[in-house]
Amino acid sequence: MKLVFATNNLNKLKEVQEMLPSSIELLSLEDINCFDEVAETETTLQGNAKLKANYITDKFGYNCFADDTGLEVDILEGKPGVYSARYAGVPTNSENNMQKLLAELNDKENRKAQFRTAICLNLDGKQTLFEGVCKGEILSKKQGEKGFGYDPIFKPVGFSNSFAQMKSEEKNKISHRGIAIQKLVDFLTDYKS
């Protein structure tokens, strides 16, 4: 079965392909000649994941899944959440996003936060949602060089390192996206069309 992952991030694509049974062939947006920018106009992660998956299924006719991720900070009542990529404005910039968040949390004691990933799968006319959450805290300054986005200032519960100090295999086992993708992979592995 061919299944589109609505992404052009080939690392993400390869990682998921390696977790799937060989009967499922993952295609990127480029593979199906989709070069359209789908604006993330919804106000929830699930909404944006649905928007992207539905765009591909409706326009190109493929089974497809799409993801969206946000960082939810307790004391900011869940912000930046769905707006995590654009927290410090557009064009998006991870360094500016981190500096804005560190400034907002300056001297705050409660630094609890969580990453959340929503995945929407359109398969044979049916829609299924998956979610992964990783709880942790926002550090008072950046630690580590690996990863991307908010990784240098996020430390998951039970670990002494930030995401940016972890090897990607270590992060993927406990991360929001890793958990959501594992749920998707389990569903697809058991799926009988």
User: Which active-site residues does the annotation give?
Assistant: 68
Residue ranges in contact with ligand IMP by CB under 6 A: 68-69, 84-85, 94, 97, 115, 147-151, 163, 175, 177
DSSP annotation of 159 reads -
To the nearest whole angstrom, how small is the minimum distance from the Cβ of residue 17 to ligand IMP? 17
Rg of the chain on CA atoms, in Å: 17
Q: Which of 25, 68, 182, 49 is nearest to 127 (CA)?
A: 49
Closer residue to ligand IMP, CB minimum distance, 114 or 149? 149
Shortest Cβ contact with ligand IMP: which residue?
149
Minimum distance from CB of 74 to ligand IMP (Å)?
Answer: 17
Residue 155 near residue 137 (C-beta atoms within 8 A): yes
**69/114 with CB nearer ligand IMP:** 69
Smallest Cα–Cα separation from 4: which of 23, 24, 21, 22? 24
Question: What are the beta bridge partners of residue 155?
Answer: 137
**Of 155 and 177, CB closest to ligand IMP:** 177
Q: Is 185 left (phi over 0), alpha (psi -120 to 50) or beta?
A: alpha
Select 11 or 189, whichever has its Cβ closest to ligand IMP: 11
DSSP per-residue string spanning 1-28: -EEEES---HHHHHHHHHHS-TT-EEE-
* Minimum distance from residue 155 beta carbon to ligand IMP (Å): 12
How far apart CA 82 and CA 97 sit, in angstroms, is: 13
Smallest distance from ligand IMP to CB 190, Å = 26
